[in-house]
Amino acid sequence: MTSAARNTPYHREPELPADAETWKHIDGAAAFLGGAANVIMQLSLPPVGYGVVESPVDSGKVTLHPFKRLRTTLSYLAIALQGTEEERARYRDAVNQAHRLVRSRPESPVKYNAFSPALQLWVAACLYYGVVDLTERLHGPIDDAEADALYRYCVRFGSTLQMPPELWPANREAFSEYWQKTLAATSIDDTVRDYLNDLIDLKALPLPLRILSARLHRFLVTGQLPPRLRDEMQLTWTPRQDRLHRAAFRALGAGLRVAPGIIRRFPMNTYLWDTRRRMRNGQPLV
């Protein structure tokens, strides 16, 4: 790649924008509610799915440590979008320690390596898709100028790990082509589907929380999935459910728009603060 190509707006990471501009697209409730659906999107690509299901890193498994996994996931999102270059580098180093062990074994049905830039591109693409999808469900369409700026900025979802910024599709049109092509290549077999159904049904949570939340959680997650992945997960979805789902998100969006910023950003702002505290105190990040 020439130096001129590296210096184009699409291949140079944007400067950190004003706090209010970034958080405009990161409702804390959306990041919280959209987590499981986004995991399903990511794991629908078999190398990512089996990398998670077969991972030997027990300390990071949502099935064993659901609250810790929630913290590390939202902390990553907060640092990727709001962190300084130094903070992103420190979080990258912490994730690398875990990812070094995530490699396929001879008996694995698919080959994978957590350091693969192509797999990290897919994960980053799912995170970006989730940001846009949830923002529009809550607040309506994003205008083109803001959408372009947000797209370029979201390269940080991948580049905070090992994905080279130049691997990010050049613009939203190129991203759409990549998304449709890769989505068509996704598949979820019984092994990964069972893992994801346990995630949807909150099997890792204490029984009282599971009883209170699992049915609603399944409804919220199913409605956020692209139709292809709903089919891969063998989930049913009716027009009536879709209307209820969209109405629920519109109502939540209306509430968020009049809420104070500190409330609208919760819990993402809390995890950003906690991660910076952990960095200052030398505590583990993942």
Angle between helices 66-82 and 35-43 (to 10 degrees): 90
Please tell me the distance from the alpha carbon of residue 29 to that of residue 263, in angstroms, as a whole number.
Answer: 9
**Looking at the predicted structure, is the pLDDT value of residue 19 above 50?**
no
- Which pLDDT belongs to residue 27? 80
C-alpha dihedral (150, 155, 160, 163), degrees to nearest 10: 170
Q: Is 140 left (phi over 0), alpha (psi -120 to 50) or beta?
A: left
Q: Is 97 left (phi over 0), alpha (psi -120 to 50) or beta?
A: alpha
- Which pLDDT belongs to residue 56? 85
- Which pLDDT belongs to residue 3? 34
Distances from the Cα of 125 to the Cα of 176, 193, 203, 245, 279, angstroms: 10, 21, 27, 23, 27
**Looking at the predicted structure, is the pLDDT value of residue 46 above 90?**
yes
Please tell me the distance from the alpha carbon of residue 34 to that of residue 73, in angstroms, as a whole number.
Answer: 12
**Looking at the predicted structure, is the pLDDT value of residue 12 above 50?**
no
- Which pLDDT belongs to residue 22? 54
Distances from the Cα of 32 to the Cα of 74, 125, 271, 282, angstroms: 8, 18, 11, 26
Can you list the pairs that 23-26 forms with residues at least 24 positions away whose Cβ atoms lie under 8 Å?
23/82, 23/261, 23/264, 23/265, 23/268, 23/269, 25/131, 25/135, 25/142, 25/150, 26/77, 26/81, 26/131, 26/265, 26/268
Shortest CA distance to 30 belongs to which of 286, 259, 276?
Answer: 259
Convert the pLDDT of each residue in 129-166 to its tens digit.
Answer: 999 999 999 999 999 998 999 999 999 999 999 899 99
Residue 11 pLDDT level (bands cut at 50, 70, 90):
very low
- Which pLDDT belongs to residue 244? 97
- Which pLDDT belongs to residue 25? 60
Residue 18 pLDDT level (bands cut at 50, 70, 90):
very low
User: What percent of the chain clears pLDDT 90, i.e. is strictly above it?
Assistant: 71
The mean pLDDT value for 3-29 works out to: 49
- Which pLDDT belongs to residue 240? 97
Q: How many helices (H) and strands (E) does the chain have?
A: 17, 0
Minimum mean pLDDT range among 3-17, 28-42, 64-78, 257-271: 3-17
Tokens of 173: 């049109």
- Which pLDDT belongs to residue 10? 36
Kindly report the backbone phi and psi dihedral angles of residue 47, in degrees, each rounded to the nearest multiple of 5, phi listed first. Answer: -60, -35
How many CA atoms are closer than 13 Å to the CA of 173, on its beta-carbon side? 0
CB 190 within 8 Å of CB 208: no
Residue 24 pLDDT level (bands cut at 50, 70, 90):
low
Tokens 């509610």 correspond to 33
Convert the pLDDT of each residue in 49-62 to its tens digit.
Answer: 999 999 888 777 78
**β-pair partners for 103:** 113
Please tell me the distance from the alpha carbon of residue 226 to that of residue 38, in angstroms, as a whole number.
Answer: 10
Residues 6+ apart with CB under 8 A from 71: 271, 274
Convert the pLDDT of each residue in 71-127 to its tens digit.
Answer: 999 999 999 988 999 999 999 999 998 888 899 999 999 999 999 999 999 999 999
User: What percent of the chain clears pLDDT 70, i.e. is strictly above it?
Assistant: 91
Cis peptide before 267 (omega within 30 of 0): yes
Minimum mean pLDDT range among 55-59, 185-189, 210-214, 224-228: 55-59
Please tell me the distance from the alpha carbon of residue 177 to that of residue 191, in angstroms, as a whole number.
Answer: 29
Kindly report the backbone phi and psi dihedral angles of residue 204, in degrees, each rounded to the nearest multiple of 5, phi listed first. Answer: -80, -15
